[in-house]
Amino acid sequence: MNPNESKPTPLIFVVDDAEELGELLTIFLTDAGYDVRVFSDPLLALAAMQSSARRPSLLISDYQMPGMNGLELIHRCKLIQPNLKVIAASATILDEDMERYQSPPDRILPKPFTSASLLATVQELLRPGDEPRP
């Protein structure tokens, strides 16, 4: 790769049924230099994961959502893209819940979280060279 060529901006999928939080995270992560797609419905996020030409480098998912919980979403997304990095954002996730799924999140970010703790976790997981393969 030519050093003057820019690397593609990492794409992050944010899934949270609280639309206001999704909007806030979009602003924050976009300002930090990431491309962001927000979903308030985990089933729509899963459909985008299956059909998108460009897959995300990172999934940030709430745990408690209607239709499908965040751990189920993580598991199903990792079946599609095994090298996907994942942050579960939750105030209520329990070890017993985690044990039911084969694809645990890479990190758990307890809610409420600060923008600094979110950004530090995102940057830790999205080290250069960790772009997903289609």
Question: Which pLDDT score, from 0 to 100, does residue 134 have?
Answer: 44
What's the pLDDT score for residue 130? 47
2/78 Cα distance (integer angstroms): 31
The tens digit of pLDDT for each residue in 54-85 reads 899 999 999 888 889 888 999 999 999 999 99
- The verdict on residue 134 lying in a domain is no
Domain presence at residue 23: yes
**Predicted local confidence at residue 1, as pLDDT:** 42
Q: How far apart are CA 11 and CA 45, in angstroms?
A: 13
Q: Residues of the chain whose pLDDT is less than 70?
A: 1-6, 93-101, 128-134
Smallest Cα–Cα separation from 56: which of 14, 101, 117, 103? 14
- pLDDT at site 5: 53
Looking at residue 133, what is its pLDDT?
46
Please state the pTM of the whole predicted model: 0.85
End-to-end CA distance of the chain: 19
Would you say residue 70 lies in a domain?
A: yes
Residue 132 has a pLDDT of 47
Q: Provide the pLDDT for residue 96.
A: 62
Total structural domains in the chain? 1
Domain that holds residue 109: 11-125
Look at residue 121 and tell me if it is in a domain.
yes
Q: What is the CATH number of the domain that holds 47?
A: 3.40.50.2300
**Do 13 and 49 meet the contact criterion of CB atoms below 8 Å apart?**
yes
